[in-house]
Amino acid sequence: MDDLLGDFVAETRETLEALSGEIVAWELAPDDRSRLDAIFRFVHTVKGSCGFLDLPRLEKLSHAAEDVLADVRADRRRPDSGLVSAVLAVIDRIAELTDAIEDGRFIADADDARLIQALQPGTAPAPAIIPAPSTLDDDVAELAQALDAIQAANDGADDENEVVVVADVAAPQVDRPVTSAPATPRVVSRTIRLPVDLLDRMMAGVSDMVLARNELARRLRESGTESNTEVAFERLSQCIAEMRDSITRTRMARVEHLFTALPRMVRDISAELGKIVQLEIDGGDVELDREMIEMIRDPLTHIVRNAIDHGIELPEVRVLAGKSMAGRLHVSARQVGNQILIEVIDDGRGIDADRLVQKAIASGILGQERAATLSWERKLELIFEPGLSTAQQVTAISGRGVGMDVVRANVERIGGLVDVESRPGQGLRLTLRVPLTLTIIPALTISAGGQHFAIPRSAIDEIVRVGGDAVRMATLGGADIVFIRGTRVPVVSLNKVLGLSETSAQANLVVLKLSGGARYALAVEAVHDHEELVVKPAAPVVMACGIYGGTTLPDNSRPMLLLDVAGVAEKAGVRHDEKGAAETVVEDNDVDQDEKGTVPVLLFRDLDGIERGVPLALVERIEDCFSTSVSTTAGRMRLNIDGRLVPLVSCGAPIIEPKIRVLRMRDGGEELAYAIDIVIDIVPVAIELQRSTVPGPVSGVMLVEDRPVEFIDAFWLFAQGLGIEPAPAQRPICLLSDEDPWTRQVLAPLVESAGYKIIYSQDTGVAADLVIIADGTASEPTEAGAVLRLRQNAEERGGSPNSLWRYDRIGLTAELRRHWNKRSA
Amino acid sequence: MNDLYLIVEIAGQRALLPAACVESVVEIEDIAPVPSAPPHVFGLFALRSRVLTVIDTIAALGAGRSCDGEKQAVIVHVDGHLYGILVDDVDDVVQIDGVPAHPRAPLSAGWARYSNGVLDHDGEPMLLIDVAAMIAGPIDIAA
């Protein structure tokens, strides 16, 4: 409804602007018929819209003005100056209220009656004149005129091709006194109309700008520039990114546009079928690319039709089944990450997967033996098979062969997925997952046959290398398969699919997921980079290959093709045959892992050659970077990733290679990169560490596959990377009075790890918060607040009463903490 | 009818392209191939940050395949997509009045599919190329 209101406000304001000249002219020459007509049309249009939009105040005002003007037009009244100013006052009030609607302000309506009263002839409060009811013919004529007025106001522009852009002009936040004075300064108009064409051109311009930026980035990297050029370039990148963001947003429209047609459609279809359907719509304010909205309009329509036709039962059947007479149909949209989820849930009979299977067997799509092995979910997936419908008979509404297969194909074409979930007798849930925007997608670049290709990131499950026990290749009846951590996944050779000669080894496997959770591994020669790519549709003759999703221009300005993950699977023939088998194994495996309490751990060789591990959940992605994009600024290493500076942490070993590999990690909010040498493997591990005693990059060590592996301390890492660790100056100071090797090597690290800064001699002039001395030392520090004595022996023999044995770790730590807390308090 | 046409040479044959759809003529090289595409799709080429699909006219005519290296291409706009039509040579833009006539001669299979008739220019008959058909390529692939 908000959009309609916005349209109304924009339209009314436009007409008002166009009319302002007319109003003045009319004031000068009240007899001018054409001016009168224009004003009449305006109030008439407003009246009509208000009735529709449920704005009673505006309606009352415009209605009163319209009546008076109708009288004038019919020569029942003379337009004297009193009448003219009364009408103008009403029009001013309409303008004021329109602005108020937009700002959500309230204007007292006590005045309205006076304004309306002023329209009446004479000054005496005469009873309201009830206008002679206009005949039907008049109404039709008025309607036509009103339409003309709208047309004229739009300057002949094609309505269909225009959008109302809500510009973010900050409205003055002054608390205006509530007045009816027409002189009140008008709020700056916050919406403008733009042709979609112009937006598209802007978008194309920004896309080209991104490409030019990428090109420049490459050149800069190659030439090894000075840092100030880089800073300027970074600023440029930032600006472009921001601009791209805001322009992308102008292309966004609320999903509501998609939903507005539903109530009427549901009403018509349910009436035709004699069903009662209660429609609930949620999340209409979620925003989505305009083009995307058009792309999912048909699939959504189809799904809703299906839900009413096949899903929701006739009222009497529902009552027999113990359900309410009216079927519930819930359509909702929400944003999850960079995807939009559109759900259609009905409480109808659901889909009987077993009946689907019978039909599939009957129509020869599925073999009898194969059917027996399918899980419930796999069986449900059969609704996406072409030529399969559960409808007993073909009705006018659905079941005409345009089936769910088309829906799925359409959704997948725009990079989306369709999930289905059914509980027989209780209902069905269909979920469409679509990306936010069509034009710019994050992608992974890979190569096959010496040529680069892009794969949408959204389709990638993981990337593995063949080798080791975790990833093992095998053949099964001529088909290549791979075992990834015990899961069987079909392998598709990209070279083979593309018809390239299989010369070089394809040791890299990109595991891709399809709709419904099926997976396959795409064997490629090399995996290169993550990039944000501007994807444009390829020529039809290229799209006809069925394996490409579009073209893009990466940094090197050599066109690259985006692979259509589903298309490749289709061409390789994995879709129907392999997924069931692969999935059953996956499911079993998941259960196993849960029982053992293991988590996937990424093993890698660190820069210093030591094998380390980190829980995979912390790693967002693994990336190769040029070491030239590493800079030491503001006292720490930073990495330039896509024009942003991300803290770079390493184990301390110098970065020598021209290319470095980093783990990009995120703790939910903050981001950092950890430099490593190479990734070894991802293995499920039940983490049981031998904890390290010193805070540092390593939290502990444990045996993984019989090798000692140090585990990265994520807490320390983020504290380091983000500079949260308290600066040395803020730490309490501990004076160690002895300087023997034991104190320095053994005691000091422990004290330091408890958060103290250590000094060794009183000379520095710094007052120590705590002094640790060996028991028996005579010299007693005077000004120090607290003293902790350590004795040589475990037994309290000959020592001071409150001294501690120097290996009493627990006691020591407790003491240190106690003093630390005291100091902090 | 009086229209502008571009005289080009394709596979040793002089022919006409309607100038209305021609954007420019460029030298192109380093074309990225499109694996598993029909043979007449030579590859993709970036022209000022726009990707165009390069159509190999020789392959479309069923006469082998254009060699690699630098070539001339006529950039045309068809249905919102940019294409580069590979040509041997580009001659001139001419104005020819009149309606394309039937060739009245049995053309080779390729030319029959891609021509819209014959136009006379200074006494020389030349085939008018149907750009959309040329892009769609041989029928069996388009189907």
Interface check for B32 against chain A (CB to CB < 8 A): the answer is: yes
* Nearest C-alpha neighbor of A663 from the set A644, A686, A687, A647: A647
List, in order of start, the domains of chain B with CATH numbers.
2-142 (2.40.50.180)
Q: Which two structure tokens, joined as six digits, stand for A779?
A: 């010299």
| Residue A46 DSSP label | H
End-to-end, the C-alpha distance of chain B in Å comes to 33
A269 in the same domain as A207: no
Q: Tell me the chain A residues in contact with residue B34 when contact means C-beta distances shorter than 8 Å.
A: 542, 545, 548, 561
**A715 vs B73: which has the higher pLDDT:** B73
Residue A392's closest CA among A313, A484, A302, A477?
A313
Q: Which of A206, A542, A548 to mutate to test the interface with B (most CBs of B within 10 A)?
A: A542
The predicted structure's pLDDT at residue B74: 92
CB pairs under 8 A between A and B: 67
Same domain for A637 and A785, yes or no, is no
CATH number at residue A500: 2.40.50.180
CA distance A200 to chain B (A): 13
- The mean pLDDT of B65-80, rounded to a whole number, is 82
The answer, yes or no, to whether ipTM is higher than 0.95 is no
Q: Minimal Cα distance from B139: which residue of A?
A: A541
Confirm or reject contact between B37 and chain A (CB < 8 A): yes
The pLDDT value recorded for residue B54 is 92
Which residue(s) pair with A757 in the sheet?
A733
Mutate to test the interface with B, among A208, A215, A500, A541 (most CBs of B within 10 A): A541
Range of the domain at A219: 194-250
* Minimum Cα–Cα distance from B136: chain A residue: A541
Q: What is the pLDDT of residue B76?
A: 92
Classify residue A682: in a domain, yes or no.
Answer: yes
Residues of B in contact with A560 (CB under 8 A): 32
HSE toward the beta carbon, residue A649, CA cutoff 13 A:
23
**For position A772, which CATH number holds?**
3.40.50.2300
Looking at residue A513, its pLDDT comes to: 80
Helices A290-306/A404-413 angle, 10° precision: 160
Q: Is B30 in the A-facing interface, judged by CB distances under 8 Å? A: yes
- What confidence score (pLDDT) does residue A418 get? 85
C-alpha distance from A399 to closest chain B C-alpha (Å)? 27
Dist. CA A225–CA A222, nearest whole Å: 8
Query: Which residues in chain B are contacts of A542 at CB distance < 8 A?
Result: 34, 37, 41, 44, 53
Which among A550, A579, A608 is the end of a domain? A579
Question: Is residue B2 less than 8 Å (CB to CB) from chain A?
Answer: no
Helix/strand/coil (H/E/C) assignment for every residue in A99-139: HHHHHCCCCCCHHHHHHHHHHCCCCCCCCCCCCCCCCHHHH
Give the model's confidence band at B83: pLDDT under 50 very low, under 70 low, under 90 confident, else very high: very high
Cβ-defined contact of A499 to B36 (cutoff 8 Å): yes
Task: Determine which helix (DSSP H) or strand (DSSP E) holds B106, and give its type and residue range.
Answer: none
Chain-chain contact of A212 with B49 (C-beta, under 8 angstroms): yes
Q: Are residues A508 and A418 part of one domain?
A: no
Question: Is the four-CA dihedral A778, A779, A781, A782 of positive or negative sign?
Answer: positive
Residue A357 within a domain: no
Is B36's CB within 8 Å of A498's CB? yes
Distances B57 to B12, B107, B110 between C-alpha atoms, Å: 11, 16, 10
User: Which pLDDT does position A519 carry in this prediction?
Assistant: 84
Within 63-102 of B, beta carbons closer than 8 Å to A belong to 79, 81, 83
Q: Is residue A486 part of a domain?
A: yes
Please answer whether residues A259 and A284 qualify as being in contact, where contact means their C-beta atoms are separated by less than 8 angstroms: yes
CB contact under 8 A, A208 and B49: yes
Q: Say if B143 is an interface residue toward chain A (CB within 8 Å).
A: no
Query: A81-103 and A2-28 helices cross at what angle (nearest 10)?
Result: 160
pLDDT of residue B143: 38
CA nearest to B82 within chain A: A539
B35/A449 CB distance under 8 A = yes
Is the Cβ pair B33, A451 closer than 8 Å? Answer: yes
| The pLDDT of residue A396 | 43
Q: What pLDDT score does A186 carry?
A: 53
Domain boundary among A722, A757, A782: A722
Write out chain A residues lying below 8 Å of B37, CB-based.
541-542, 545
In the structure encoding, which two tokens stand for residue B68, read together? 């690699």
Rg (CA), chain A: 37
Whole-angstrom distance, CA of residue B117 vs CA of residue B126: 8
| Among B39, B34, B5, B33, CA closest to B19 | B5
Residues of A with CB under 8 A from a CB of B: 207-208, 211-212, 449, 451, 497-500, 536-542, 544-545, 547-548, 551-553, 557-561
Answer yes or no: do A446 and A518 share one domain. Answer: yes
Is A451–B32 a contact, with Cβ atoms under 8 angstroms apart? yes
Q: Does A452 lie in the same domain as A571?
A: yes
What pLDDT sits at residue A502? 64
- Which 8-state DSSP code applies to residue B56? -
Sorted by sequence, the CB contacts under 8 Å of residue B76 that are 6+ apart come out as: B17, B21, B22, B23, B82, B83, B84, B85, B131
Please tell me what DSSP assigns to residue A764: G
Looking at the complex, report in whole angstroms how far the Cα of residue A540 sits from the nearest Cα belonging to chain B.
8
Nearest to B35 among A207, A211, A499 (CB): A499
A679 and A743 in one domain?
Answer: no
Give the helix/strand (H/E) hosting A286. Answer: none
The strand order across the sheet containing B115-121 reads B89-97, B2-10, B13-18, B124-129, B115-121
- The number of domains in chain A is 6
Do the Cβ atoms of A566 and A514 come closer than 8 Å?
Answer: yes
SS3 assignment, position A341: strand
B45 at the A interface (CB within 8 A)?
yes
* Alpha carbons A330 and A429: distance in angstroms, whole number: 9
Minimal-distance CA residue of chain B relative to A501: B35
Identify the helix (H) or strand (E) that includes residue A606: none
pLDDT of residue A555: 65
Same structural domain for residues A446 and A528?
A: yes
Is the same domain home to A490 and A560? yes
Q: How far is A500 from chain B (nearest CA, A)?
A: 7
- Residues of chain B with C-beta less than 8 angstroms from the C-beta of A544: 38, 141-142
What radius of gyration do chain B's Cα atoms show? Answer: 15
Q: Name residue A440's beta-bridge partners.
A: A534
Which pLDDT does position A153 carry in this prediction?
A: 47
pTM of this structure: 0.46
Under 8 Å between Cβ of A569 and A577: no
Identify which of B27, B38, B82 has the alpha carbon closest to the alpha carbon of residue A553: B82
Residue A654 neighbours by CB under 8 Å, 6+ apart: A607
Statement to judge: residues A419 and A325 lie in one domain: yes
Chain A interface includes B139 (CB < 8 A): no
Amino acid at A475: T
Determine whether the interchain pair B45/A559 forms a contact, defined as Cβ–Cβ distance below 8 Å.
yes
Using a CB-CB distance cutoff of 8 angstroms, which residues of chain A are in contact with residue B33? 451
Give the residues across from A612 on adjacent strands: A604, A710
Final residue before a domain boundary, out of A189, A218, A235:
A189
Looking at the fold, whether A282 and A399 belong to one and the same domain comes out as yes
By Cβ distance, the residue of B30, B37, B79 closest to A558 is B30
Q: Does B53 touch chain A (CB under 8 A)?
A: yes
> Are A37 and A150 in the same domain?
yes
Q: Which residues of A touch B57 (CB under 8 A)?
A: none
| List of chain A residues with pLDDT < 50 | 1, 123-139, 152-184, 392-401, 576-595, 725
Are A211 and B45 inside 8 Å of each other by CB? no
Does B138 reach chain A within 8 Å, measured CB to CB? no
Q: How many angstroms separate the CA of residue A452 from the nearest CA in chain B?
A: 9
Residue A185 and residue A216 share a domain: no
